[in-house]
Amino acid sequence: MSAAESMAQTGGAASVRFTGANIAFRRLVERGALLELITFGFYRFWLTTDIRRHLWSNTEVDGDALEYTGRGKELLLGFLIALAVLVPVFLLYFLAGIAAERFKAFASLPLYAFLYLFGQFAVYRARRYRLTRTIWRGVRFWMTGSGWSYAWRSFLWGLLLLPTVGFAYPWRMAALERYKLGRTFYGTLPGSFGATGGQLFRRVWWIWLLGLLPVVALVGGTIAATVARRQGFVNTSAPMILSRLVIIGGFFLLIALPFLHAVRKATEWRWWAEGIRFGDAAVACALPPAALIGIYWALIGMGLLLVLGFGVIAAGITVLVSRLAGHAEPLAGSLAGMPVWTIVAYAIWYLVMVLAFGVLARIFTLHHVWRRVIDACSLLNPEAAADVASAGEAAGALGEGLADGLDFAGF
Amino acid sequence: MADPAPVSWPGVFFDGQSNRRRTVAVRFATAIEIIEDGTKLAVWDYAHVRGVDAPAGVTRLWSTDAPPLARLELRDPAARRDVEQYCLDLTGPGGVRPISVVRIAAWSLAAACVIVGMIWFGVPLVADQLAEVLPLSWERPLGEAIDRQVRAVFPGTPCTRPDGRAALATLVANLQSAAHLPIAPDPVVLHSPIPNAFALPGGRVYVLSALLDRAQSPDELGGVLAHEFGHVSHRDGVRRLIRDGGTAFLVGLLFGDISGAGAALFAGRSLLSAAYSRDIEAGADGFAITVMHRLGRPTAPLGALLLRISGPREEHFSILRDHPLTPERARRLEQENAAPSGPELLDPVAWQALRAICR
């Protein structure tokens, strides 16, 4: 923060803002979900591309909007190439898994580690694809570095999370961002990451502790109640009442979790944005910690409404099934006795529900958060980013395809 | 169009070499002229001008003759009218063209048909071929891995009353003398309220205790076991595994990230696998018939047991039933039935001990 402030004194500040209309994005993702349904999901490549095009071209830095030059066809191609890579990998993984199961439990752990590494490799390569299709003022962003090198870092830092009960998380984030941004360029202007893990830790440690509180209360209360019962305490005795109160308190504390998550996200976004440097240009971010609370609660409210709506529909289907099907087959399992149309009805119900939740998630956690964060940022020292010569080439979409295939995909 | 009135509009130009923002005058003459302080920076032929992504209210142009990232931005609505009037190939190669949803939908449908075709015809074919060539030494560890999962799903403990186990061993030995399985089978009885029996890859056979309660003679239970041994002999377990795995993979491919692995398994396992199982069950029934004939025992009791468990009613036809229509199977077992000519599979004392194995 102080570095950013001192920079603000030497140079000027330029505005960064989001100019898109909510309704335009909503229409885009609703239409996209519908098309995903009728194209068996294949439309996802074009939907992802359209979402990025919308977000990028409505993000204005110092008066000039970004441009996203990626295309859906590239993502489809990347996916197909990734398949050619992933099919043999999955087959080997499957066979190795069977072989490993013979030697009991932990034998398959290295395989998970390998898939994780592969996923992180894909994440890095996918970032490269997105970055090299990001244009501002006629000059592209690009990056060097190796996907495997990044994957190793991510993995080794990830190993540290377990013994430190997650407290290594800020330093892990900082190290990975340093790796990524330190190898990122805007034209000939090198990027870097100026924020540290310590800074993030100082801002989020209390959130982490508070987040553990309901878990501790629920687990601790349950254990205490069990122990008290074993030792012969009756329901009205003080230890039983006390442990029950702790459990009830834990439930109420669960309500606090979305607040904590929203505050953590806002704090992280701000910390991350303030760490971004390109040459002497930097980003200032005035996102208040409470900025995202409304967005997350709106998402929860809408999500609950959806659950209610789809619950009613499912109940309707079930009633219809029991009316028409008559009796259940004892020999056949739970699904096997149903006629085809009920399976199809449930499958469509399931797909529409998944798509509806996807629409919600994209509107709130992607678009609204993006807009809020972008609007809170400004570019410090914009003169340092003027007169930058173009450099870098567009990278292939294999990483995107791998990330899609491994379920590691971002936006 | 030969001599358009040379009007000049304010614009912003990026030459694609550096990110310098140039405020320019844009003239629509015989070509687009981009002028900064009286100096012509670029002249873009109308036919080569393409439109690219821009926020609402901005027209962003690129020329195929310019560097790939050169951009010209116009904000004046009147200037945009000129662009639309003169630049007739804005969506040409390199420009942003509206994607054809119909084309994507048509190709998706074609791809879906291919994948469904692979699931319907390709996967069973591959599974059959692989099941033939996969050595038994591979199948056994596979079975052990699945065995662990099955035991997690069926928490019922194995029934271990010694005299019951001895009776089961006798019954199995009698059947094996006619079945000649490559691995001597060792069925396990599990506590469960569901009357059923099943075979896993690697030759493991499970009998659920409720089936013992419903069985009324050694011939009925012997028929069930012979049927399951048929699955073992035909290596249906591996076949099913390969088929389900392949189907789940292909369904996952079809729906990608929108439905997740859960739906893929859901659809893969129930909707499609049962469709081929009619032939497989008929095959296992055939095996059971052969074994019972060799032992000189009747085949009708197996059909009677099936009917007793499922009930005689068959109202709606469904491809989803795991077993072929029970009356159809019972009819076949009735037709193949022969009067007993061989010794009983179990004496009455051993039969009672076997039925009490779980008590």
pLDDT digits (tens, 9 = 90+) for A87-119: 787 777 766 766 665 555 445 567 678 878 888
Retrieve residue B199's tokens: 């075979």
**Which is higher by pLDDT, A190 or A344?**
A190
Give residue B272's Cα distance to chain centre. Answer: 8
pLDDT in tens, A317-329: 878 777 765 544 4
Residue of B270, B305, B318 to mutate, interface with A, max A Cβ within 10 Å: B318
Give whichever of A145-154, A236-245, B117-126, B240-249 has the largest mean pLDDT: A145-154
Q: Which residues of B touch A320 (CB under 8 A)?
A: none
What are the tens digits of pLDDT across the range B18-61?
Answer: 999 999 999 998 999 999 998 999 999 999 999 999 998 899 99
- What gap in Å lies between CA B53 and CA B184, rounded to an integer? 70
CB contacts of A91 in chain B (<8 Å) are none
B205 touches B198 (CB < 8 A)? yes
Burial of B193 (0-12, 13-18, 19+ CB in 10 A): exposed
Half-sphere exposure of B18 (CA within 13 A, CB side): 8
Pairwise CB contact (< 8 Å): B14 & A138: yes
Give bridge partners of residue A192 from the DSSP assignment.
A277
In this complex, the residue of A43, A68, A387 whose CB is nearest that of residue B104 is A43
| A355 interaction partners in chain B (CB closer than 8 Å) | 258
Q: How far is CA A338 from the centre of its chain?
A: 37
How close B238 comes to chain A (CA, Å)? 13
Contacts of B13 (CB under 8 A, 6+ apart): B22, B23, B24, B34, B36, B41, B42, B70, B71, B72, B73
- Mean of the pLDDT values across residues A136-143? 94
User: Quick check: A47 pLDDT over 90?
Assistant: yes
Kindly list the strands in the beta sheet with B205-208, ordered across the sheet, starting from the edge strand earlier in the chain. B188-190, B205-208, B197-199
> CA-to-CA distance for A67 and B295, rounded, in angstroms?
79
**Between residues B261 and A40, the one the model is more confident about:** A40
Show residues of chain A in contact with B322, CB under 8 Å: 331-333, 336
Please state the rounded mean pLDDT for residues A135-164. Answer: 92
**Nearest CB to B55 within list A19, A46, A333:** A19
Q: How many residues does chain B have?
A: 359
Give the phi and the psi of residue A73 in degrees, each rounded to 5: -60, -35
Of residues B17, B99, B313, nearest to A46 (C-beta): B99
Smallest CA–CA distance, residue A153 to chain B, in Å, is: 27
Quote the CA–CA distance of A127 and B341 in Å, as a whole number: 75
Cβ of B257 and A354 within 8 Å? no
Task: Report the amino acid identity of residue B272.
Answer: L
**C-alpha to C-alpha distance for A16 and A54, rounded to whole angstroms:** 16
Four-point Cα dihedral A340, A342, A345, A350, nearest 10? -100
Q: What pLDDT band is residue A307 in, cutting at 50, 70 and 90?
A: very high
The number of C-beta contacts closer than 8 angstroms across A and B is: 189
Q: A-chain residues within 8 Å CB-CB of B142?
A: 98
Task: Report the distance separating Cα B253 and Cα A127, nearest Å.
Answer: 23
Q: Does A351 touch chain B (CB under 8 A)?
A: yes
Indicate the average pLDDT of chain A: 85
Low-confidence ranges of chain B (pLDDT < 50): 1-4, 257-268, 270-272, 313-322
Instruction: Name the DSSP class of B271.
Output: I
| B69·A347 Cβ contact <8 A | no
State percent of chain A over pLDDT 70.
86
Report CB contact under 8 Å: A336, B274: yes
* CA–CA min distance A392, chain B (Å): 12
Distance CA B137, CA B144 (A): 12
Query: In this complex, do B53 and A57 lie within 8 Å of one another by their Cβ atoms?
Result: yes
Measured CA to CA, the distance from residue A46 to residue A219 in angstroms comes to: 45
Q: Given the DSSP bridges, would you call strands B32-36 and B22-28 parallel, antiparallel or unpaired?
A: antiparallel
Pairing of strands B205-208, B188-190: parallel
How far is B245 from A98, CA to CA, in rounded Å? 13
Give the per-residue pLDDT at B313.
47
Alpha-carbon distance of B357 to B359, in angstroms, equals: 6
CA distance B204 to B128: 20
pLDDT band at A406 (very low <50, low <70, confident <90, very high): low
Taken in order A163, A164, A166, A172, the sign of the CA dihedral is negative
pLDDT tens digits for range A76-87: 888 888 888 877
- H/E segment holding residue A35: helix A22-38
Over range A164-175, report the average pLDDT.
91
Chain B CB contacts of A407 under 8 Å are: 257, 260
Enumerate the residues of chain B whose CB falls inside 8 A of the CB of residue A386.
19-21
Pick from A98, A331, A407: CB nearest B309: A331
Distance CA A331, CA B207 (A): 13
pLDDT of residue B318: 39
Whole-number Å distance between alpha carbons of B303 and B126: 32
**In this complex, which of A38, A101, A390 lies closest to B16 when CB atoms are compared?**
A390
Radius of gyration of chain B measured on its C-alpha atoms: 36
Closest chain B residue to the Cα of A403, Cα to Cα? B257
Residue A390 to residue A119: CA distance in whole angstroms? 31
Encode B205-240: b = buried (16+ Cβ within 10 Å), e = exposed.
Answer: bbbbbbbbeebebbbbbbbbbbbbbbbbbbbbbbbb
- Please name which of B207, B200, B203 lies closest in space to residue B181, comparing C-alpha atoms: B203
Contact between chains at A41 and B319 (C-beta distance less than 8 A): no
Q: Searching chain B, which residue's CA lies closest to the CA of residue A82?
A: B253
Contact across the interface for A390 and B111, Cβ inside 8 Å: no
Compute CA A274 distance to the chain's CA centroid, rounded to the nearest angstrom: 20
